[in-house]
Amino acid sequence: MISTRPNIGVRLAGTGSHLPENRLTNADLTKLMETNDEWIVQRTGIRERRKIDRAKGESTATLAAGALKNALAAARLNATDLDLIICATMTPEMECPATACVVSALVGAGHCGAFDLNAACSGFIFGMNTAHDLIKGGAYRTIAVIGADTLTELMDYSNNGRGTAIIFGDGAGAAIFRATDDTTKGILAQGMHADGEGWKEIYVPHEERDFPKGIACDTSKYGYVQMNGASVFKFAVGTFPELIQQTLDKANLTPDKIDMYVCHQSNARILGAARERFGIPEDRLYVNIDRYGNTVGASVPLCLDELVRAGRIKDGMKVMFLGFGGGLTWGSSLWQM
Ligand code: COA
């Protein structure tokens, strides 16, 4: 990788997360639609997810700000120490301003830069890669990357939406990256990819022109995520192992040299298939989808925060982060911690 400042390394300074208290269990879903715990657990591995409560003032920005505050505390930094806040989200607070700006105000970050990045479930990975290379370039020293989403706001909890609504949950996770003199720390290999032709596999229509060619406009679908579950499953099952192999090849490493795989939590079956294919031991590929569902941009940083707090990701380890989702997008970030 070419760097303008090869004498700068990048380290993970702290992580944090924030989840709504309100739980939506599989049993709760059976009161809203025809479904059952066994079907959901077998197909996805999900047992419950979290859901924001608008009446309590919860939103993408409040979750994101909560996660960032916890990450700042873990890093022993003040909000004014940040040079930049990148918020990966596909459910922004509003169209303008960027959610990152609302978060900046909520945490009191002063005049640091703030912008949003939308790469759906790959958002946090794209954010990490961006933050790393901005620090490596020498212009920024301390960058917060947040993944925050509130997909439950875009779910149709009736029989019409049951194939999609069972999957998604709300949450936020954050990580702070800092410049360090230790040049061994930082990204060893990365990738950011998209297949724009695949946009029609996951989209949120708001008007007639938003429906893909061949799909009749249906106003009852406005504002709800439309997902072709079978196509997305096929895409993920194929892409995930390919992405692991490509990333290993770029870094000239074998699967056993990676201390931890931190993957987007889309479906326990997809994660399990990749784990078996590479012979990765169970304790090296983290799974928490049973507790939170698919939290989109938040899923990777939520895993990261749990692993760091449990002492399972530490200095000196090699950690591979992987994401894939709407866009279609997919990406990886392999770190020397
Ligand atoms: N409860 C019970 N039955 C349900 C149901 C639910 N919540 N949702 C759908 N079904 C029914 C369907 O109506 C269908 O019934 P039919 O055969 O009588 O028509 C049957 O179950 C199978 O539906 P299908 O959509 O083919 O299920 P599936 O096996 O593909 O599983 C997903 C659906 C969504 C779990 C699966 O496709 C998946 O995990 N896809 C990937 C999604 C994903 O990871 N998205 C995020 C990407 S980042």
- 2 falls within a domain: no
Helix (H, G, I), strand (E, B) or coil at 140: coil
Cβ of residue 325 lying under 6 Å from some atom of ligand 1: yes
Cβ of residue 43 lying under 6 Å from some atom of ligand 1: yes
pLDDT of residue 1: 47
Number of domains in the chain: 2
pLDDT of residue 4: 55
pLDDT of residue 209: 97
Cβ of residue 121 lying under 6 Å from some atom of ligand 1: yes
Cβ of residue 266 lying under 6 Å from some atom of ligand 1: yes
171 with 199, same domain: the answer is: no
Residue from 44, 46, 121 whose mutation best tests the ligand 1 pocket (most atoms within 8 A of CB): 44
* Cis amide leading into 72 (omega within 30): no
141 with 262, same domain: the answer is: no
232 with 152, same domain: the answer is: no
Question: In which order are the strands placed within the sheet that holds 9-18?
Answer: 9-18, 170-180, 142-150, 84-88, 113-117
Q: CATH no. for residue 174?
A: 3.40.47.10
176 with 228, same domain: the answer is: no
Specify the residue with its C-alpha closest to ligand 1, atom 36: 229
Domain hosting 233: range is 186-336
The pTM (predicted TM-score) of the whole model is 0.96
| Domain boundary, last residue among 126, 158, 180 | 180
Token pair 């079978």 in the structure block, residue: 230
Q: Tell me how far the alpha carbon of residue 203 is from its chain's centroid.
A: 17
- Distance from C-alpha of 335 to C-alpha of 323, rounded to nearest angstrom: 14
Of the candidates 121, 132, 228, 303, the residue annotated as catalytic is 121
CA distances from 239 to 197, 218, 330 (A): 15, 31, 8
**Per-residue pLDDT of the chain in tens (337 residues, 90 and over written 9):** 444 566 899 999 999 999 999 999 999 999 999 999 999 999 999 999 999 999 999 999 999 999 999 999 999 999 999 999 999 999 999 999 999 999 999 999 999 999 999 999 999 999 999 999 999 999 999 999 999 999 999 999 999 999 999 999 999 999 999 999 999 999 999 999 999 999 999 999 999 999 999 999 999 999 999 999 999 999 999 999 999 999 999 999 999 999 999 999 999 999 999 899 999 999 999 999 999 999 999 999 999 999 999 999 999 999 999 999 999 999 999 999 9
